[in-house]
Copies of this chain bind each other. A is one copy, B any other.
Amino acid sequence: MTQVYDLIDRIFHPESVAFVGVTTSDPFHWTRTFWDSARAFQFKGPMYPVNPHGGELDGYKVYRSMADIPGNVDFAISTVSAKIAPKIVRECAAKGVKAIHFCTAGFAETGEADVTELQQELVAAGRDTGVRIIGPNCMGIYCPESRLSYDTGFNKESGDVGFISQSGGNSIYMIREANWRGLNFSKVVSFGNACDLNESDFLEYMIEDPKTKIIAMYLEGVRDGKRLRQLLEKASRKKPVVLVKGGCCGEAGARATSTHTGSLAGNDAVWDTLCRQLNIIKPNNMEEMVDVLATLKFMPGFKGRNVLLVGPGGGASVMLTDEFERRGFRLPAVTSEIKKELLGFSQAAGNMLSNPIDYSQSMQNPGSMQKAIQLLTQWAEVDFCVGFFRPSQMTEGFLDMVRKVDDMINQAFGASLKPVAHIIEGGITPARQIVAFEMIQKIVAAGKPVYYSFPAAAVALRLVADYNKRKTANS
Q: Taking beta carbons and an 8 Å cutoff, which residues of A are in contact with B? A: 28, 30, 32-33, 105-106, 109-110, 150-153, 165-173, 176-177, 180, 218, 220, 246-253, 255-257, 259-261, 284-287, 312-319, 321-326, 330-331, 333, 350-351, 354-356, 358, 360-361, 390, 392-398, 426, 428-430, 433-434, 437, 452-455
**B167 and A318 form a contact (CB under 8 A):** yes
Chain B contacts of A286 at CB under 8 A? 315, 319
The 9 A-B residue pairs with the shortest CB-CB distance in the complex, in nearest-first order: A167-B315, A170-B315, A250-B325, A252-B331, A260-B314, A249-B325, A173-B393, A169-B313, A246-B318
Determine the chain B residues whose CB is within 8 A of the CB of A430 once the complex forms: 433-434, 437
Q: Per a CB cutoff under 8 Å, which of B110, B152, B176 touches A428? A: B176
Of listed A285, A319, A326, A437, residue having the most chain B CB within 10 A: A319
Interfacial chain B residues near A433, Cβ < 8 Å: 426, 430, 433, 437
- What chain B residues lie within 8 Å of A318 (beta carbons)? 167, 170, 220, 246-247, 253, 256-257, 260
By beta carbon, the residue of chain B nearest A170 is: B315
Given A319-B246, A319-B286, A437-B430: A169 and B314 interface contact (C-beta under 8 Å): yes
Q: Report Cα–Cα, A433/B453, bound state, in Å.
A: 17
Extra contacts besides A251-B331, A256-B318 (17): CB < 8 Å: A28-B397, A106-B361, A109-B314, A168-B315, A169-B393, A173-B392, A176-B429, A180-B429, A248-B322, A250-B330, A252-B325, A253-B322, A256-B354, A257-B318, A284-B323, A285-B454, A433-B437
Report the minimal beta-carbon distance from A284 to chain B, rounded to whole angstroms.
Answer: 7
Interchain CB contact under 8 A, A325 and B28: no
Contact between A395 and B249, CB atoms less than 8 A apart: no
Q: What B residues does A28 contact at CB under 8 A? A: 397
Which partner residue on chain B sits nearest A433 by CB separation?
Answer: B433
Q: List 20 A-B contacts (CB under 8 A).
A: A28-B397, A33-B395, A33-B397, A109-B314, A151-B395, A152-B396, A168-B315, A169-B314, A169-B360, A170-B318, A171-B315, A172-B392, A177-B428, A218-B315, A246-B322, A250-B326, A251-B325, A253-B322, A256-B318, A430-B433
Q: Is the CB of B428 within 8 A of A180?
A: yes
Q: How far is the CB of A164 from chain B (nearest CB, A)?
A: 13
Contacts of A455 in B (CB 8 A): 284-285
Assess the A355–B252 pair: CB atoms within 8 A: yes
Instruction: Name the B residues within 8 Å of A429 (CB-CB).
Output: 176, 180
Q: Is the CB of B325 within 8 A of A172?
A: no
User: Closest Cβ of chain B: how far from A196's Cβ, in Å?
Assistant: 20
For A432, the closest partner residue in chain B by CB is B176
Chain B residues, Cβ within 8 Å of A180: 428-429
Closest B residue, CB atoms, query A190: B315
Chain B hits for A168, CB < 8 A? 314-315
Residue in A151, A166, A259 whose Cβ sees the most chain B Cβ within 10 Å: A259
Take A246-B319, A252-B331, A318-B246 as given contacts and tell me if A172 and B394 are in contact as well, using a CB distance cutoff of 8 Å.
yes
With A and B bound together, what is the CA distance between A256 and B321 in angstroms? 8
A29 and B421 alpha carbons, distance in the complex (Å): 31
Instruction: Considering the complex, give the chain B residue whose CB is closest to the CB of A167.
Output: B315
Chain B's closest residue to A434 (CB) is B430
Name the CB-closest residue of B to A33. Answer: B395
Known: A176-B428, A354-B259, A392-B177. Is A315-B169 also a contact (CB below 8 A)?
yes
Q: Report whether A287 and B255 are in contact in the complex, using a CB–CB cutoff of 8 Å.
A: no
Residues of B within 8 A of A392 (CB): 172-173, 176-177
Collect the chain B residues with CB atoms within 8 Å of residue A317's CB: 256, 260
Q: What's the least CB distance linking A263 to chain B, in Å?
A: 10
- Shortest CB-to-CB span from A334 to chain B, Å, is 10
Q: Are B315's CB and A358's CB within 8 A?
A: no
- Residues of B close to A358: CB separation below 8 A: 259-260
Q: Which residues of B contact A333 (CB under 8 A)?
A: 251-252, 255
